[in-house]
Structures are given as C-alpha cells and as structure tokens.
Amino acid sequence: MKLLTHNLLSSHVPGLRPGGGFPLRIEVREGKCEGRDPPETPPVPAPPSPLRGRGRLVEIPLLPFSLPPEPLPDYEANEEFLRRLHHVLLEVEVLEGSLQCPDSGRRFPISRGVPNMLLTEEEA
Amino acid sequence: LYGGQFSSEQEIHVNSPFWILSIPSEEMARGLMKRTVCAKSIFELWGHGRSAGELYESLKNYPTDKMLPYLQSDSTYKIHIHTFNKTLTQAQKIKKIDALEFLPFKGKVNLKTPEHIFWILEDYGMNPNDVPEEPIHLYFGRWIADGQRELIESYSVKKRHFIGNTSMDACLSFIMANHARVKPNDIVYDPFVGTGGLLISSAHFGAYVCGTDIDYNTIHGLGKASRKNQKWRGPDENIRANLRQYGLEKYYLDALVADFSRPIWRKGMLFDAIITDPPYGIREAPRRMGSQKETVKSAEKSTENHFFISSSYHLSDIFFDLLKFGAEYLVMGGRLVYWLPIYRPEYTEEIIPRHPCLKLISNCEQMLSSHTSRRLITMEKVKEFKDQDENSYLLDGQYLPYRGHNSFREKYFSGVTKRIAKEEKDNQK
C-alpha cells in the first residue's frame, strides 16, 4: 500500500461519528522505500504531484524525514517540497502491517502490500 | 482533450472505410491520432471524387499555395497507393501514380526516407464477391499521422501475464480510456478491477491507477488460472506485474480488497475518472458482503483468517451504487465509463441509469448475441454532489429491468433454456 492510497482511505465500520474514521493509523511490520532520501537525489525534474491540493498530510511512522503537517501555502511552486511529497506518497510502501480505525480500533490487515478493507458479516 | 471541435463534412457512409473530417489544425489531427485505436491513418485531403476524372478535377481546384510548401524542389517525397477491397499489380499502380503528373511535384523521389508522403486511396466497396472494375471513390492527400492500432496488438490479452475470465479486450480498453479522457497524472479508479485490464490503457496514457475488488484471490493472484492449459496462477500474477510487463509500473497506485457497496474512501473528489466493467453474472458472479447464511456463494478463508461470505449483489444496486459513487467522488468534469448489459427486446433509452450530477455523454452498443448486448456508457460530472438527498432521483422504476438478482443472467440464457425445453418436447414425441 502506498501512502497516497492511505491518504484517500477511511474506515467504514458502521456507526462512526460523521467525519470519523480518518486518518487510519498505520502499523508497519514490513515496509519498502524506493529511491533515497530526496535531498540526496540528483536534481531530476520532479514529476508533478498527483496530490493537487486535495490531500491532508498525516503522521506516518515510516518516513525517513519529516514533512510539515499541512501543505505549505505556496507548495505548488516549491519543488523541494513536491519532490519530498512525491517520494512519500508514491515511493514509500507498507507491505505487511495493518490500518487501524482511529475511532473503533478495528484493524484492516495489509498483506503483501494489499490492504483488506472487508468487514466480517457480523460487523457489516 | 486537445481542446478543439471537429465536424464531419460528409454524411457518414456506414460501410466506408474512409471518413472525411474537418479538423481546425494539423496539430489537433496529430493529437487525435496519438489517442485513437479506431483509425489507421489521417491525411490532409487534397482532392477526391467518384471517378479518376473527378479526382483530378478536384485536385486541380485545390489551392496551389496550400500544396507548394510540400512540393519544394529541395524536399523529398513518395507516393503510395492503397486500394480497399482490391489488389492491383505493380504496373497498374505505377500507371495511377504517373497519372498525377499534372501536380507540380518539384522535389526528389525518395522511397526510403521521404519528408512528405502522399497517398492515393481507392475504395472498391465492401463486397469482396462483387469488386467493381473501377473504384467507387478516390482520395488523394498528404499523410499526417498513423493511429494507435498497433497498441491493440502489443497490449493483447493473449500475451498478458495476468488475466481473468472477463479480462477486457485491449482495443475496448483503450476506447474506454479515451472516452474517459484520461490524461497524464490523472487518478483513475476501477471499483471492479479484477485483473486490472482496464487500468493498463489508462496507465499507458500516463494516469495513476488504482482498483478494488471483493475477490481476495484475484487481487493476490491466487487460485485457478483462467488461461487454457494452465491450472494454477503463478507466484507473480497480479495487477502490478501486468503494468510492469508494459513498463508502466510507476503508474501503479494500489489494488485493494474491498466491497464496492461499502464506503472505504474518505469524502471528497478523489478521482479524475472511473472506468469499470461491473460483473453482470454471466462469467463472473456479482457479489458483495452478505448478511444471510443461506446465500453463501463462496466462503473463502484468507491468510489473515478472515472468514467472509459474499452474497448476491443485485445488478440494479450495482448501477445505483456506481452512479452515486461517481457523482460523489469524481472531480468536476471527471468521467464515469462503464458497460451496461442490455436485453435487446426490452431496451429503450430510458433504462440507462441517470443521476442529476452526471450527464450522459455517449452510449455505444456492442452485440453479444441476437438478444443481448452491452452498452458502453460515458457520463460526465456536471454538478457538485450534495449529500444523500439526491438519491431519490435515482429510484423510480428506472431500474426495473435489473430488479432481482441475476435477472440479466436469466434473460441471457432464456434462449438456451427455451431451446432445451423444445428439444426435450421433441424427444418425447
């Protein structure tokens, strides 16, 4: 699971308060990080970020460096920031672990990089 | 997509392989051909007519100043001839090319790497058993660009690593991506992703792709193989490996195991396009998480000792959910492209599901059998989604033909069941 996907997912356990269930807490048993810490990478043209101002950045235990909690005001012109963001959203992956609903505590397991968002029939 | 309109100057001859369009610029024509898988080549038309005489007459009327830039003495050119539904001998071809002498060609002929290529196109009709002596229509023009026909071959399902029972034909998958106007850096989502065939064409056009499916085994590439002569799926059969096969892995976002009838996405306009082929119960059963024990269709034990049961998912509910999902999660102007199965004797425009936030853009038919077909529906989001109250529009009898689980399946097989019944009767006599 890439962190971009995590940024779009929400828990869907029945009976959540409105707007609840987001962001899901990430628990990592095994992760993968492609490329290196962006400050060390040579200055290649940064791919445009697919985030386009829709996202909300969250605290992620896997990151090799820190990101500001919210997008910077002029982030679309800030190449350094975009590059870091691209790295975080598309090159960092959770292979084994789980996503935990912040409200109900329900865990959605991630195995071989694939989150399983199904609920059991009792829950649904 | 390339920001322009073009119009058809000609009444569409249903059975002609040639089509005259009026396109504002050469740039746009090239753009169009970068995307289409339905057209072979595009030419700047210099003249045409119903007979050789008419063609020459028409060519003589083509403004010389438009021709001259391509006929300069320091340029190189060659002339091709293409005959539709007839094969000419080399001598006949040369004769026809020589007949164009009256055009002011000043450049040198270069057959290998010409700067400009001209084509004579001759249409001998559609009937291979009744080929006329002379062509019914002739065209002459300057070649501009070829379409993307070769993609159909290079992305063919036959050579793909990971396929399922209902993997989409490569050509149709490209048509769907074009209908959805997929652009670089879009996010494209398929809620019934299966083996991800529909996402490949979008990734080819530079969009980031993700998908969900309820089938744990499919997403993880486990279980029985769909390919002939192969019993079980190999260790690396998954959507990601498919994209890797075409060098498109960087456009892979994620594949998730999820139930489309449950809201796993946070609220917001997340997707630029939704492209999908919902299961309609012929080769893959529609299902969602169930609540009744007796509807156990498949109980699968996943590695996380998750025990889940799928129950039937009514077609009407699938389309209801799909439109609502599109209305809510698409960006403004984003498109929803999906297949709708049709029982032809009952088909009317009215049964196409509608939503106040989505405008119907196109509706094309692909025949499946004499009484069934599927329609490729393209809708565009034109209005902001406002909470639950808009659901009410959707109800109202529109979905009646899809009421009841597997109603389409029953109709699909109705011909067969009748025939069997008849045969049985005959046997009894």
3-state per-residue secondary structure call for chain A: CEHHHHHHECCCCCCCCCCCCCCCEEEEEEEEECCCCHHHCCCCCCCCCCCCCCCCCCCCCCCCCCCCCCCCCCHHHCHHHHHHHHHHHHHEEEEEEEEECCCCCCEEEEECCEEECCCCCCCC
User: Which of B344, B346, B387 shows the shortest CA–CA distance to B366?
Assistant: B344
User: Does residue A58 have a pLDDT over 60?
Assistant: no
How many C-beta atoms lie closer than 10 Å to residue A3's C-beta? 24
* ipTM of the complex model: 0.75
User: Which among B291, B303, B306 has CB closest to A124?
Assistant: B291
Query: How far apart (Å, rounded) are the C-alpha atoms in residues A35 and A38?
Result: 8
Which residues on A lie below 8 Å from B298 (Cβ)? none
- Looking at residue B300, its pLDDT comes to 36
User: Does residue B303 have a pLDDT over 50?
Assistant: no
Among A37-41, A87-91, B328-332, B406-410, the range scoring the smallest mean pLDDT is: A37-41
Identify the three-state secondary structure at position B192.
coil
Which residues on B lie below 8 Å from A21 (Cβ)? 266
What residue type is assigned to position B187 of the chain? I
Which residues on B lie below 8 Å from A113 (Cβ)? 254
User: Which of B18, B277, B34 shows the shortest CA–CA distance to B137?
Assistant: B18
Q: Which residues does residue B48 pair with via DSSP β-bridges, in sequence order?
A: B139
Identify the three-state secondary structure at position B230.
coil
Q: What values do phi and psi take at B129, rounded to 5? A: -95, -5
Which residues on A lie below 8 Å from B258 (Cβ)? 115-118
- Looking at residue A17, its pLDDT comes to 79
User: Does residue B252 have a pLDDT over 70?
Assistant: yes
Identify the three-state secondary structure at position B170.
helix
Which residues on B lie below 8 Å from A116 (Cβ)? 216, 256-258, 302, 304, 306
Kind of pairing, strands B208-213 and B187-190?
parallel
Q: Which residues does residue B256 pair with via DSSP β-bridges, in sequence order?
A: B212
Q: B219 and B213 in contact (C-beta within 8 Å)?
A: yes
Q: Which residues does residue B208 pair with via DSSP β-bridges, in sequence order?
A: B187
Q: Which residues does residue B363 pair with via DSSP β-bridges, in sequence order?
A: B377
Query: Which of A:37-66 have CB within 8 Å of B?
Result: 47-48, 50, 54
Tokens for B106? 């000043």
Stretch A45-66: mean pLDDT: 40
- Looking at residue B274, its pLDDT comes to 92
Tell me, what DSSP letter sits at residue B2? -
User: Which among A4, A112, A121 has CB closest to B253?
Assistant: A4
A121 touches chain B (CB under 8 A): yes
- Looking at residue B235, its pLDDT comes to 63
Highest mean pLDDT pick, A20-29, B108-117, B405-414: B108-117
- Looking at residue B337, its pLDDT comes to 92
Please indicate whether, in this complex, the C-beta atoms of A124 and B289 are within 8 angstroms of each other. Answer: yes
Please indicate whether, in this complex, the C-beta atoms of A8 and B266 are within 8 angstroms of each other. Answer: yes
A107 touches chain B (CB under 8 A): no
Please indicate whether, in this complex, the C-beta atoms of B254 and A114 are within 8 angstroms of each other. Answer: yes
Q: How confident is the model at residue B98 (pLDDT cuts 50, 70, 90)?
A: confident
Compute the nearest-CA separation of A19 from chain B (Å): 8
Nearest Cα residue in chain A from B250: A90
User: Does residue B11 have a pLDDT over 50?
Assistant: no
Chain B: residues touching A (Cβ < 8 Å): 185-187, 208, 210, 212, 214, 216, 219-220, 250, 253-259, 262-270, 289-291, 302-304, 306-309
Which pTM was predicted? 0.76
User: Does residue A48 have a pLDDT over 50?
Assistant: no
- Looking at residue B305, its pLDDT comes to 32
**Average pLDDT of chain B?**
75
Among A22-36, B72-86, B205-219, the range scoring the smallest mean pLDDT is: A22-36
Tokens for B389? 């109250």
Kind of pairing, strands B108-109 and B76-84?
parallel
Tokens for B159? 């050579």
User: Which among A12, A19, A114 has CB closest to B219?
Assistant: A114
Please indicate whether, in this complex, the C-beta atoms of B306 and A9 are within 8 angstroms of each other. Answer: no
User: Which among B250, B256, B267 has CB closest to A117?
Assistant: B256
Q: B275 and B193 in contact (C-beta within 8 Å)?
A: no
User: Does residue B389 have a pLDDT over 70?
Assistant: no
CA A81 to chain centre: 16
Element (H, E) at B197: helix B197-204
Tokens for B176? 């769907």
Tokens for B367? 């025949």
User: Which among A4, A12, A114 has CB closest to B262?
Assistant: A12
Among B120-134, B220-234, B349-363, B402-416, the range scoring the smallest mean pLDDT is: B402-416
Residue partners of B87: CB distance under 8 A and separation at least 6: none
Query: How far apart (Å, rounded) are the C-alpha atoms in residues B183 and B204?
Result: 10
Query: How far apart (Å, rounded) are the C-alpha atoms in residues A117 and A103?
Result: 16
Query: How far apart (Å, rounded) are the C-alpha atoms in residues B287 and B321?
Result: 13
Stretch B325-344: mean pLDDT: 87
Q: How confident is the model at residue B275 (pLDDT cuts 50, 70, 90)?
A: very high
From residue B102, give the alpha-carbon distance in Å to each of A26, B57, B98, B200, B265: 75, 11, 9, 49, 66
pLDDT tens per residue across span B38-91: 778 888 888 888 888 888 888 888 888 888 888 888 888 888 888 888 888 888
- Looking at residue B152, its pLDDT comes to 77
- Looking at residue B336, its pLDDT comes to 92
pLDDT tens per residue across span B157-207: 777 777 776 677 788 888 888 888 888 888 899 998 888 888 888 998 888
Kind of pairing, strands B271-276 and B307-312?
unpaired
